[in-house]
Amino acid sequence: MKKSLSLTLLAIAGLVVFSIASCGGSSQPQAKSNIPEEAKQVAKANYSYDEEDTYNTASSDMGTVTGFKGFPIYTDAKSPDNHYIPSGYMGDYSDIKIETASFDNPHGGTTSIKIKYSNASSQGARWGGVYWQSPANNWGDKKGGFDLTGAKKLTFWARGENGGERIEEFKIGGITGLYPDSDIAGIGPVMLTQEWKKYEIDLSGKDLSYVSGGFCWSSNLDVNPEGVIFYLDDIKYE
């Protein structure tokens, strides 16, 4: 009985999360939110301290970014350069399986990310998606994220298991709540091929001063009635 009640509550939570994050919705920019100053300071500190000037150059007071040399989300499994956590499962969340160390034909290095989204519709949503978040499971209720001011684009490589897989949207930002993302940008729908292909999300003119939702994908069963298996690799802000 307790297990059944827990599953019911999780399903309700999944629907609420979808309405909050709306990763499966339009890629049109939302109105910029008023971000608490304390959250901005945390993002700047994360950005500066985390990289110790290896990838990004910041001023000595850890406040003003003076250069941007790249900010990886995923390069290889367990790489110390990786950022954000694929923790924000949405929609039919129990139908989504993520393997962050797949050795099946990676684009670069030794591993890639393998994602399997089945057609079980376990929560009845008929769609699914995942946010890479900072910190993990942050739906705007925690201070975190990164100040990625200076980035011009987010690039990533993707391929489908068989080709013809349709991903409705890839995007960054869009998380709302007490500590909302400062902007949003995305592309889609995207039709994948069996071969690796590079994709790009244009970040020109975007406010990247606070990004806790570093990357996101979403799709649904209407366009993938048999479910979908696809791969991601070399995801980074440039």
| Structure confidence by residue, pLDDT tens digits, 11-50 | 444 443 433 444 544 333 343 445 556 555 555 556 443 4
Each residue's pLDDT tens digit, 119-128? 999 999 999 9
106 has pLDDT over 50? yes
Contact between 133 and 216 under an 8 Å Cβ cutoff? The reply is no
Comparing 56 with 233, the larger pLDDT belongs to 233
105 lies in a domain? yes
Mean pLDDT of 176-180: 96
216 lies in a domain? yes
For 157, the domain range is 2-27+37-237
Q: Cα(78)–Cα(100) distance, rounded to whole angstroms?
A: 9
32 lies in a domain? no
CATH number at residue 51: 2.60.120.430
Domains of the chain: total: 1
Q: Cα(238)–Cα(236) distance, rounded to whole angstroms?
A: 6
Each residue's pLDDT tens digit, 189-235? 999 999 999 999 999 999 999 999 999 999 999 999 999 999 999 99
73 lies in a domain? yes
